[in-house]
Structure 1
Amino acid sequence: MGKRERDGGESEREKEEREANAHVGQFLPSQIRNKCKRSEAYAKVKNEKKKAKKQKIKLRDEAEKEALELGNVPPPRKIPRTIENTREADETVAQADDEELQAEEGADEFSQYFAHEITPKVIITTSQQNSVATRKFCADLLTVIPNCHYYKRGTYNLKQIVKYAINREFTSIIVINENRKEPNGMLVVNLPEGPTAHFKLSSVVLSKRIKGHGKASRHQPELILNNFTTRLGHRVGRMFASLFPQDPNFRGRRAVTFHNQRDFIFFRHHRYIFESKEIKEKKEKPNKVDPKAVKEKKKLPKEQVIARLQECGPRFTLKMQSLQHGTFDTKYGEYEWLHKPDMDTSRRRFFL
């Protein structure tokens, strides 16, 4: 035992234990009463976590680069755990080689559209009591769907409109419902034999409200249906596809997207362009110039083709409430699928 320890001083081991205990017993930001000091402590902790995350990513990238240079297999990356990749098992998820599904789709109500036997012709209308916001939304839909016509609803009920549309060889009806002078529902009726789908409509953003929006041309758009994986999802996706002609004009560079994520269908309308962009070379210090690297740089192309997107609008989200056999009938209609409150007991159960 040293003199300092006999006189009551602390040894190096005791000092290390004291520092470790102080680190373990430090206050959390939430335990600090002073608001200013609590905010400063929280900002400091957040900044340290951010730096640690960047350092971890940097070490991972360096390890991958080193493995590739040595000709080894890089270490596998961890897949983040999400609601999508942990969804409940569903027997109705369609497989690529499902012959039964292919046979059903070859003989369903939408097969004639995909065989180019019928050209889509759509009516858009509203509920009997409609506001300016709903009519503006209908006007935006007219710019998206080709061969689409708007009709005032008046006092006609939906069954009368269905008969009128069938007699004039329309193929679909879209009805926009509203609540408190805002559009909140969409009904899609396939003619002449159905089916009828009812969707909850939310997050509506008109074209004029989108910053930097573009103006859509009259070219027939390309249709993108993304993540409709189940049999029900395939059926809903084919219903959306039946609203658009199946011969897109690629010169127009228009793209209409229905993206399904967790049974919410996000609608987007874009136009795109391909541009060539010059590749800027990084200036290196003269002492570190490698002649081999200079030769490789000369071989590289000086231009790069990039794609640019511009949103045209409108923008909205759909949530399916029901799918009914035949045309619209609230009394005697038979439902293929109906959303019920007990279906929402699990966050990892999806139907589309």
Structure 2
Amino acid sequence: MAPDKPIRVRNRLRRKELFAKYKDERNKRRHEERAERAKEELENPELKAKRLAENVPNTIESMRVFDETVNAELEGTDEFSEYFENTDKDPKVLVTTSENPKKNGLIFAKMLQDFLPGSVFVERKEKYTMKDMASYCSNRQFSDLIVVNEDKNKVTGITFIHLPTGPTFYFSVTNIIESKKIAGHGNPTSHIPELILNNFSTRLGQTVGRLFQSLFPHRPQFQGRQVVTLHNQRDFIFFRRHRYKFKNEKRVGLQELGPQFTMKLRRVQKGIREEIDWEHKPSMDRDKKKFYL
């Protein structure tokens, strides 16, 4: 016996009505099935454990292309070793701008200075090149130089130079939100924040993580209850700053202090902007499951 042919409804309003009725009935069946399943799993918790084990969703992260450097330990010493070996010496950071800085560049530079303990802001003069500034900072015992890059009155990137001999890192910057534009934001104090780094798992990612660690003193002042988080997800690095709020003995909340912005590593150079060690290229974005940090 041939199956019944689907009924063709010519009237558009009637079709919409029937489809809405079908979706409503389908949702009711789903709710009934979920309620029945929840009742069974309450009586037998093993059923829930089995269902969760069998229904692990695939994500881009779980299907990530294998990278042999993930979780591999860094061998030997690198340019950041002195920071980790000499825990009594705090970093000294100079923050500056690109040539002819505009308002947005100056605002962002001072935002960086606000959450980097002991940092100094100096507006850049036209006659000084990047190497001139690096030499100036090295002679005055600065450990790092940060340059805010602009294009057409818009902040587009940050250059980090670890002194005295590099390396140099360039990150593009997007999605900048000032603290005052964040609803319910708090006001930061001058305490040294705790630093949290998430998902910097490859050898390159660990090097980037060591760069960020070298910008903060070794001893966070926990009485300030402030935390800076750099979260890497799919090679985008999200900056957030919060403060712990203890509501009572058992409940702890977070209040955002700001600012917010997103970085993406574009280039790593040896020394002070010398030979390119690693560079992001457009062709790298073709494989959505390949990550480098």
**TM-score, structure 2 as length reference:** 0.89
2:67 maps to which residue? 90
1:311 maps to which residue? 256
| Same amino acid, percent of matched pairs | 41
Contact persistence 1:64–1:75 (CA under 8 A): no
Q: In 1, Cα distance between the equivalents of 2:253 and 2:202?
A: 32
AA at the equivalent of 2:40 = A
Matched ranges for 1:103-182 at <5 A: 103-104=75-76, 107-115=77-85, 116-155=87-126, 156-182=128-154
Moved more, 194-203 or 51-60: 51-60
Structure 1 residue 326 and structure 2 residue 267: aligned? Answer: no
AA at the equivalent of 1:182 = K
RMSD: 2.7
Q: In 1, Cα distance between the equivalents of 2:66 and 2:233?
A: 16
Q: CA deviation at 1:124?
A: 0.7
Structure 1 residue 269 and structure 2 residue 241: aligned? Answer: yes
C-alpha offsets along residues 306-334 of structure 1, whole Å, 9 cap, x if unaligned?
11111111100001001111122xxxx22
1:346 to 284, 287, 290: 287
Residues 72 and 32 (structure 1), Cα distance of their counterparts in 2 relative to 1, 3 Å cut: closer
For the residue of structure 2 that corresponds to 1:135, the secondary structure is helix
AA at the equivalent of 2:281 = K
C-alpha offsets along residues 255-291 of structure 1, whole Å, 9 cap, x if unaligned?
0000000000000011112222xxxxxxxxxxxxxxx
Q: CA deviation at 1:44?
A: 6.0
For the residue of structure 1 that corresponds to 2:107, the secondary structure is helix
For the residue of structure 2 that corresponds to 1:247, the secondary structure is coil
Matched ranges for 1:208-247 at <5 A: 208-247=180-219
Contact persistence 2:96–2:124 (CA under 8 A): yes
Residues 254 and 67 (structure 1), Cα distance of their counterparts in 2 relative to 1, 3 Å cut: same
Q: In 1, Cα distance between the equivalents of 2:187 and 2:214?
A: 24
Pairs aligned (count):
289
Larger radius of gyration: 1
Q: In 2, Cα distance between the equivalents of 1:239 and 1:322?
A: 14
C-alpha offsets along residues 227-282 of structure 1, whole Å, 9 cap, x if unaligned?
11101000001101110111111111100000000000000011112222xxxxxx
AA at the equivalent of 2:180 = K
Contact persistence 1:112–1:118 (CA under 8 A): no
Residues 169 and 51 (structure 1), Cα distance of their counterparts in 2 relative to 1, 3 Å cut: farther
Q: CA deviation at 1:54?
A: 4.7
Residues 177 and 76 (structure 1), Cα distance of their counterparts in 2 relative to 1, 3 Å cut: same
C-alpha offsets along residues 100-143 of structure 1, whole Å, 9 cap, x if unaligned?
x2x43xx2221222231531111111111221112111222222
Q: In 2, Cα distance between the equivalents of 1:32 and 1:158?
A: 71
Q: CA deviation at 1:63?
A: 3.4
C-alpha offsets along residues 76-106 of structure 1, whole Å, 9 cap, x if unaligned?
41111111101111112124xx4xx2x43xx
Q: In 2, Cα distance between the equivalents of 1:45 and 1:314?
A: 47
Residues 165 and 82 (structure 1), Cα distance of their counterparts in 2 relative to 1, 3 Å cut: same
AA at the equivalent of 2:91 = P
Structure 1: unaligned runs, 5 residues or longer: 1-12, 277-303
Higher helix share: 1
Contact persistence 1:67–1:74 (CA under 8 A): no
Q: In 2, Cα distance between the equivalents of 1:48 and 1:190?
A: 63
2:161 maps to which residue? 189
